[in-house]
Amino acid sequence: MAKSDKVAAVAEIADKFRTSSAAVVTQYSGLSVSQLTTLRRALGTNASYRVAKNTLVKRAAEDAGVQGLDALFTGPTAIAFVDGEPVDAAKALREFAKDNKGLVIKGGYMDGRPLTVAEVDQIADLDSREVLLAKLAGAMKGNLAKAAAVFAAPATQFARLAAALQEKKAAEAPAES
């Protein structure tokens, strides 16, 4: 790789570190090109998977102000840069790693701090943003339905009472004649 290519690669990776909402560092030893392509598809459009030399990644992380990841940059390293929801990418990586033992999650970086493998797994265990919003909407709808029933109860009871009173008067009226 020529020096200008290395400088461009470092700048690109540093930019990815700056603009991504999260990054997951993996080791990909033993995976074929087709398996890496399958992984990239599994990550979807909100994440990109970049294979890079450790020295270039270390320099890019330093340029981007990312600290605490140097120990992860050993062996064949690839990084999943997440642009959208970190939960979806973490789930995709974990599921792929279950089926392909060549992929090992080494850690990550999110919200200005490094993540351990356990923390990446915890992120993967979370429900996605859409699921959480749906659960919240369902809970709110249920509470609104309960509130509507409580507010409608006095009017309903009054209507039943009025109907019963009317029936009672109708039943007593013919008997009096």
The predicted-structure confidence for 154-167, as pLDDT tens digits, reads as follows 877 878 888 888 88
Q: How far apart are the first and last CA of the chain?
A: 112
pLDDT digits (tens, 9 = 90+) for 39-76: 999 888 889 998 989 999 999 988 888 888 888 888 88
Nearest to 69 by CA among 109, 119, 103: 109
Q: Which residues contact 86 (CB under 8 A, 6 or more apart)?
A: 21, 22, 110, 123
Token pair for residue 12? 């690109």
The residue to which tokens 């409608």 are assigned: 152
- Domain extents for the chain? 3-126, 127-177
What is the pLDDT averaged over residues 133-158? Answer: 78
Question: Which parts of the chain are beta strand (E)?
Answer: 22-27, 47-52, 77-82, 104-110, 113-115
3-126 homologous superfamily = Ribosomal protein L10, N-terminal RNA-binding domain (3.30.70.1730)
